[in-house]
Amino acid sequence: MSDFNHFDGKGNAIMVDVSGKEITERIAIASCDVQVDSATMALIVGGSIKKGDVLSVARLAGILGAKKTPELIPLCHPLALTSAELEIRCDEKLSIIEITAKCKINARTGVEMEALTAVSIAALTIYDMCKAVDKGIIISNIRLLEKTGGKSGQWRGK
């Protein structure tokens, strides 16, 4: 377990001091699922949602979400990402949109929160763009799949 924590000696919330940590390449991969109605999936795939190209807008929103993470998560360090990539895949048979984000940086702290924020914002964008035709959209399985770099090295989820 790490000695780093988000509280000072008086119990006040603080941003962890990472100045003593080594700069390494750090990568985080996160994903989530968006379950839509089969008719909604057909509209998305067919490019017929009135608000526009759902998947392209969601991809851009996810990248922006990764970049804006420290503005949304109070104790996150502001990071200069070297890469933020989103892959969005539609499983038409199951009516599930699978979103995967990969964020990279050379820094003293990881990019897990950026990857998780990216998939969350992309999923919320899909919801926003499709809510007029599908009120039952379910966003689920937001999770970290893998992280590499830093003292703890590589971690992969199950």
d(CA 153, CA 135): 42
Q: What is the number of other CB atoms lying within 10 angstroms of the CB of residue 15?
A: 13
Selection from 123, 120, 96, 122 nearest residue 40 by Cα = 96
33 is catalytic: no
Q: Which among 33, 53, 91, 128 is annotated as catalytic?
A: 128
Of 101, 122, 117, 120, which is closest to residue 66 (Cα–Cα)? Answer: 117
Residues designated catalytic: 128
